[in-house]
Structure 1
Amino acid sequence: MPGSRSTPPAGATPPSGPRAALQALLDGSSGGTLRRALWLDAVDQLLRPHLPPVLAAHARLANVRGDKLVFVVDGPVWHAKLRLATQELVDAARSVGLDVAGLTVRTTTQPLRPIPPAATTAPPMSAAGQSGLAAALALLRSDAPDVSEQRAGGNRKPGRRGT
C-alpha cells in the first residue's frame, strides 16, 4: 500500500524552523483558537480599506458573532464615527463572503496598537552633542549675573530697603 500524503516517507527528517513551529501550534490543542485569530486578522485587513483613513487607526475587527461584525475602538468619538460607517462596512463584509446584517462597537480605554518602547525614548546623544551641550552650559554659567546683585537692585546696598 503506498504511503499517505500526510505522513513523511520513512527515513525523512521532520521539517524544522518557523513553519514547523507554526504547524505544531495549529495542530495542538489551541489550534482552533489560533486559526480563528488568524482568520479574524485577515478579515480585518480586508475591511480596513473601507474605513475612513482617520478612523482606521482607531478601530479593529474583534469578532464576527452571528450576523454581526464586532469592532473595538479606542475612544467614544471613534465609536460614533464607526457607527456612521456601518452600512459601508456591512456591504464590504458581504462582498468578501460574510453573511452579516449589522455592526456592534465596543470601546476600550487601552490603545489598540501600543506604541513600541523604542519610539517613546529619545535616541542617545552623540559624543559631539554631549561636548557641545557641556560647552553651552559652561558659557551660560559664566555670563550669568550674581543673584545677590539682582535682588539688591544693582546700586542699592544689600540689607537696605528702598523708600
Structure 2
Amino acid sequence: MDSIFHRTSVRQYLEKPVEEQKIEKMLRAAMAAPSARNQQPWEYYVVTSKEILGKLSEASPFAGCTKGAPLAFVACWRKECFRPDYAQIDLSASVENLLLEADALGLGAVWLGIAPIRERMDEVRKVLDIPDRLEAFAIIPCGYPVNVNPQQDRYEESRVHYVK
C-alpha cells in the first residue's frame, strides 16, 4: 500500500505513450472499487486523441494539463443505477483506486472534478458525445511524470476523535 503514501497529483507528463496493459490494470483497479449495493455505476472513456485531449483541457478552468497528457480517463456514471444518489460517492472510490494503481505502475495522474458543476459536465458530454444515459464525473489525465514530488504528510492528530 505504499501508493497511498506516495501518490501525488501529477500535471506534467513525458511525451511517452502509456502501454495498453497498464491502461487495463488501472481500469481493473477502478472497477474493483466498492459501491452502494454493489451497483458498480461506472463507465470509463479512455482518450488518447491529441485533438480531443485539447478540447477536454478547455472543459474546466483547472483542466489545462489534460492537453499535455498522453491519455485521459473520463469517469462517468450510469443514471439508471439503483441508487443514483450514491453514484458520485461510488465514482470517488473508483477514481481513487485508479489513481493509486497509476502510482503503483510508475505513472502519474490527477483527479479533475467535473461533477457536480452542470456546465462542465455538459461540456465534457459534448466533447465526447456521451449518451444521455451517462453523466460525466471527472477527467483524469495520466502519463509518465516529468518529475515526482514527495507527498505531504497530511496527518493531523487534532482531527482524530476517539469514542470509548
Which interval holds the TM-score relative to the shorter structure?
Answer: under 0.3
Higher relative contact order (CA 8 A, sep 6+): 2
State the structure with more CA Rg: 1
Task: Kindly indicate which of the two structures has a greater share of residues assigned to strand.
Answer: 2
TM-score, L = length of structure 2: 0.27
**Bigger fraction of residues in helix:** 1
TM-score using structure 1 length:
0.27
